[in-house]
Amino acid sequence: TSEASITVLGCLPEDWLQPYHAVRSPYFIHPDEGSMKGSTTAFVALVDALVDSKKILLSRLIRSSSSSPQLVALLPQKECLYDDDDEEEDEKDKAVGFHAITLPFADDLREVKLDRVPDPPNDSVVDAMLAVVNSMTVGRDFIREVSNPVLQKQYAILQAIALGGSYDEEEGAIELAPPEEWAQLKGRVDTLESLLPEATTTAAKRKAGAGAASGGTAKKSKTVQDDSSLDWAEIGKSKTVEKQTVPVLKAFLKSHDYPVGGKKADLVARAYEALTAFGVL
């Protein structure tokens, strides 16, 4: 095993680096004056020289003694500090350092062979797609309004416990859904689809026609079955409803228009209620 280190293999023009070169999220490397006095000065001088010459460093990176060597491109970044009263709201403070972008090895590269190169879209299709993209544009602060649904669920459960209530997973679900304003997209998407080649919608039409080919849409029957094809009549008679998992219970109740909120005990009780209503019990 080798010790953690960075070995410079050479310099490349910065325009050599392409977005598709990155095989995973980059690391950020910054100077550590505490480990080696004077290293910050040399580090900053190297960054400045590379930025001025528009070059990057091709290097071998070993993150720790237990890590495998990685081929990386070190993209330099100068320090940029902005005052709070700066007019440029988008500008953020940037630390001096290198973005270590992991590159693929020769063994990782594959040549993709295409059967044919698709015809480029005409101007009308591009304009229609541009209208769709413009409609989807959100504000710069949009990400600040998106809460982590996992954390929000945890907070809701803690609040329910503190207040002596129960948490309804269906009602409390938080979805990462597009803004309501995107409803206006439908007309523009329809326009775009009308301009696309007919082959583009072949798969969708085939999928939609599958039901008709098999004799039309099957009517929903009120039988003691669900999507899992379990024999619920036998399950009810053998009193093994409690042994079913929560997803199975919810699927059964939902297929018969019963509520699916609450704990497992509530789901089991509703399942027995449904089976009784069907005359099984």
Mean pLDDT by 10 residues, the chain (281 residues): 84 92 90 82 92 94 88 90 60 81 87 74 88 80 76 84 77 62 73 74 49 46 54 86 87 83 84 83 71
Question: What are the tokens at 89?
Answer: 């709201």
89 and 19 in a common domain: yes
Please give the residue range of the domain that contains residue 171: 123-194
12 and 104 in a common domain: yes
pLDDT (0 to 100) of residue 86: 56
Question: What are the tokens at 14?
Answer: 């910065």
> Does residue 87 belong to any structural domain of this protein?
yes
Chain centroid to Cα 38, Å, comes to 42
**CA nearest neighbour of 132 among 198, 63, 193, 42:** 193
Strand partners, 107: none
> Does residue 152 belong to any structural domain of this protein?
yes
Strand partners, 180: none
Q: Rounded to an integer, what distance in angstroms lies between the CA atom of residue 209 and that of residue 211?
A: 5
Percent of the chain with pLDDT over 90: 17
pLDDT (0 to 100) of residue 221: 39
Provide the whole-model pTM. Answer: 0.45
> Does residue 98 belong to any structural domain of this protein?
yes
